[in-house]
């Protein structure tokens, strides 16, 4: 199945997810968490890591506790895993007006470990990860986003009004279009993988897909996976582990064709 990014569709034509998907978010997220418990033995087959540092960033209004299951999994695979350490993700109120607090956190991990840091960001945390990689490329090994709406239509979701109220940032596309267009561009030269679900009930999945380039990839998980369940879903965990295990200078796109179960768990990958 071909992946269609927001630019190909025309961002103005993309709408928020259906009401049915939005209303079933909570129930499906519980299902994702339950599936994680049942799949724990299978995740032992995920590849081991090389011990490099990984920082995991939470979604909008969420804190480090929400990324704890993913961080525990990555730690079990041998990574030097770090919480973002900035409390609840309230946009610029958490990371600083220019993202300086998040930049300091990244630099601190890099200086301490003397190794490039992989960034895994959920929703808004993924947008921040991409921008962090653009600003501090020498500190970043790769970026992985989970349901992050970095496409150029900031209103193709069900939370933009809440975001405006909390952060005070104007999401009017007429006023801020250049900013949004820049957000849609992946970090140059840094491998960036977008993991998304067509069943996302919070943000339009089309806004979460990378444009085609030599260093970008997309991995679709089955449509029953909710936006709020991306951080507790076993298929997502395996995909993140697969990406992080790649040698630093030997990055390659995800291959779903290597096994039957991969073809089932990941309906599409690539561009």
Question: What is the residue extent of each domain of the chain?
Answer: 6-269
Residue range 219-223: mean pLDDT, rounded: 93
Sorting pLDDT into bands at 50, 70 and 90, what band is 180? confident
Fold classified for 6-269: Rossmann fold (3.40.50)
pLDDT single digits (tens) 113-161: 999 999 999 999 999 999 999 999 999 999 999 999 999 788 899 999 9
Q: Residue 192 above 80 pLDDT?
A: yes
Instruction: Look at residue 6 in the predicted model and tell me its pLDDT.
Output: 53
Q: What is the pTM of this model?
A: 0.94
Sorting pLDDT into bands at 50, 70 and 90, what band is 105? very high
Cα-based torsion angle of the residue sequence 89, 243, 188, 97 in order, rounded to the nearest 10 degrees: 10
CA distance 217 to 92: 28
Instruction: Look at residue 27 in the predicted model and tell me its pLDDT.
Output: 95
- Tell me the average pLDDT of the chain: 93
Instruction: Look at residue 202 in the predicted model and tell me its pLDDT.
Output: 97
């Amino acid at each position: 199945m071909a992946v269609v990014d927001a630019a190909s569709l025309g961002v103005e034509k993309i709408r928020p997810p259906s009401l049915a998907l939005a209303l079933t978010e909570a129930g499906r997220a519980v299902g994702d968490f339950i599936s994680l418990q049942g799949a724990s033995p299978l995740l032992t087959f995920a590849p081991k890591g090389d011990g490099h540092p990984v920082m995991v960033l939470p979604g909008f209004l969420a804190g480090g506790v929400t990324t704890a299951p993913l961080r525990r999994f990555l730690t079990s695979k041998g990574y030097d895993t770090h919480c973002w350490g900035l409390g609840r993700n309230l946009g610029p109120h958490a990371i600083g007006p220019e993202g300086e607090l998040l930049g300091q956190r990244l630099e601190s991990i890099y200086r301490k470990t003397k190794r490039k840091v992989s960034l895994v960001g959920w929703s808004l945390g993924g947008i921040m990860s991409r921008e962090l990689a653009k600003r501090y490329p020498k500190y970043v090994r790769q970026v992985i986003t989970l349901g992050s709406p970095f496409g150029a239509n900031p209103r193709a979701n069900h939370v933009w009004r809440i975001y405006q109220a909390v952060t005070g940032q104007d999401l009017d596309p007429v006023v801020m279009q250049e900013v949004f267009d820049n957000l849609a561009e992946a970090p140059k030269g840094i491998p960036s993988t977008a993991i998304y679900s067509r069943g996302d009930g919070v943000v339009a999945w089309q806004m979460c897909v990378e444009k085609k380039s030599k260093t970008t990839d997309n991995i679709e998980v089955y449509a029953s996976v909710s936006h709020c369940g991306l951080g507790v879903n076993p298929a997502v965990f395996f995909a993140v582990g697969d990406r992080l295990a790649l040698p630093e200078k030997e990055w390659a796109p995800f291959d779903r064709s290597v096994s039957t179960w991969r073809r089932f768990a990941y309906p599409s990958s690539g561009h």
